[in-house]
C-alpha cells in the first residue's frame, strides 16, 4: 500500500494530547523514523483515517509498500507502533530483552487496563456513577495504589525497568502525566518523590518537547508535515 503523501513515508494519524498517540510519537522520534504527521481533531475525523482504520481512534500508522514487514500495512495500536519503530532502529536502547521486556509489557498492560479505567473516572467523574463507591474505592485512591508500585520500582533504578529511559517509561509517562495534571497540588504532595522527579524529568526532556509541538488539523489539500 502506498501512502498518498507523494513520499515513501509512513503516515501517522495522531492527536497531540492523546497519551496513546504521545507514546507512539516518542518511539517514532527516538527511532528516527520519518513520518507524514496528520493531526486529527477527534470530533472531525478525516475520511482517510476512517478508511485506513475503521476503529477510528489514534494513533494509526499506515505503512508504504517499502516498509511493510510480513504483509502488514496498517498498525492500529500504540504499543505495536512503538515496537515496530524500535525493532527497526533503536539507537538509545529503549527496547529491552528478557525479564526487563516481560516487566515492561506487564507494566504497560496494567497501565492500559486497570490504571486507565481509574484515570478516566478520576479525570471525568461526571461520566460515571461513582456515588456508591467507598472512599478507598474511589478512582484517585485506586490509581494512587498503582502509582506507589511505580515509586517502589524507581527506588531500584532512576527509571522503571532499566538504568536509562526505555520502553516502559515512554509508554507510561503520558498516562501518569495525565493523572498528575488532574490535580497537580495533590499529586505533588503524595509520598512518591521519585515518581515526581521521574515525571518532571520527562516533561522537561527534549523528547517530550519535540513530540508536543502543535500542528494544525490535517486536511487532504495540506502539504505533508514531516515528523520528527
Q: What is the mean pLDDT of the chain?
A: 91
Q: Which domain holds residue 43?
A: 11-92+209-227
128 by DSSP, 3-state: which? coil
**CATH no. for residue 16?**
3.40.30.10
Cα(29)–Cα(169) distance, integer angstroms: 15
Total domains in the fold of the chain? 2
Same structural domain, 73 and 103:
no
50-54, 96-100, 137-141: range with highest mean pLDDT? 96-100
Judge whether 49 lies within some domain: yes
Same structural domain, 171 and 221:
no
Cα(107)–Cα(103) distance, integer angstroms: 6
pTM: 0.92
Length of the chain: 228
Residues in contact with 181: Cβ distance below 8 Å, sequence separation at least 6, in sequence order: 187
Check: CB of residue 82 under 8 Å from CB of residue 104: no
Helices (H), 74-217: 78-88, 98-110, 116-123, 139-154, 167-182, 184-188, 193-203, 206-211
The 10s digit of each residue's pLDDT in 150-205 is 999 999 999 999 999 999 999 999 999 999 999 999 999 999 999 999 999 999 99
Check: CB of residue 96 under 8 Å from CB of residue 161: yes
The 10s digit of each residue's pLDDT in 63-78 is 986 555 544 589 999 9
| C-alpha neighbours within 13 Å on the C-beta side of residue 180 | 21
- Note the pLDDT of residue 137: 63
Amino acid at each position: 500500500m502506498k501512502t498518498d503523501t507523494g513520499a515513501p513515508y509512513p503516515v501517522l494519524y495522531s492527536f497531540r494530547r492523546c497519551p496513546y498517540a504521545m507514546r507512539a510519537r516518542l518511539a517514532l522520534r527516538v527511532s528516527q523514523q520519518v513520518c507524514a504527521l496528520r493531526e486529527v481533531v477527534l470530533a472531525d475525523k478525516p475520511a482517510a483515517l476512517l478508511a485506513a482504520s475503521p476503529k477510528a481512534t489514534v494513533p494509526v500508522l499506515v505503512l508504504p509498500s517499502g516498509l511493510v514487514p510480513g504483509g502488514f500495512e496498517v498498525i492500529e495500536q500504540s504499543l505495536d507502533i512503538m515496537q515496530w519503530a524500535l525493532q527497526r532502529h533503536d539507537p538509545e536502547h529503549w527496547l529491552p530483552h528478557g525479564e526487563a521486556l516481560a516487566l515492561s509489557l506487564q507494566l504497560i498492560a496494567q497501565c492500559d487496563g486497570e490504571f486507565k479505567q481509574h484515570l478516566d473516572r478520576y479525570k471525568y467523574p461526571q461520566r460515571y456513577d461513582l456515588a456508591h463507591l467507598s472512599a478507598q474505592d474511589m478512582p484517585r485512591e485506586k490509581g494512587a495504589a498503582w502509582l506507589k508500585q511505580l515509586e517502589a520500582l524507581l527506588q531500584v533504578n532512576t527509571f522503571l525497568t532499566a538504568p536509562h529511559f526505555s520502553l516502559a517509561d515512554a509508554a507510561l509517562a503520558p498516562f501518569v502525566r495525565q493523572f498528575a495534571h488532574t490535580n497537580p497540588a495533590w499529586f505533588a504532595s503524595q509520598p512518591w518523590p521519585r515518581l515526581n522527579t521521574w515525571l518532571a524529568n520527562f516533561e522537561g526532556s527534549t523528547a517530550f518537547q519535540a513530540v508536543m509541538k502543535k500542528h494544525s488539523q490535517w486536511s487532504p489539500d495540506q502539504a505533508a508535515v514531516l515528523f520528527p
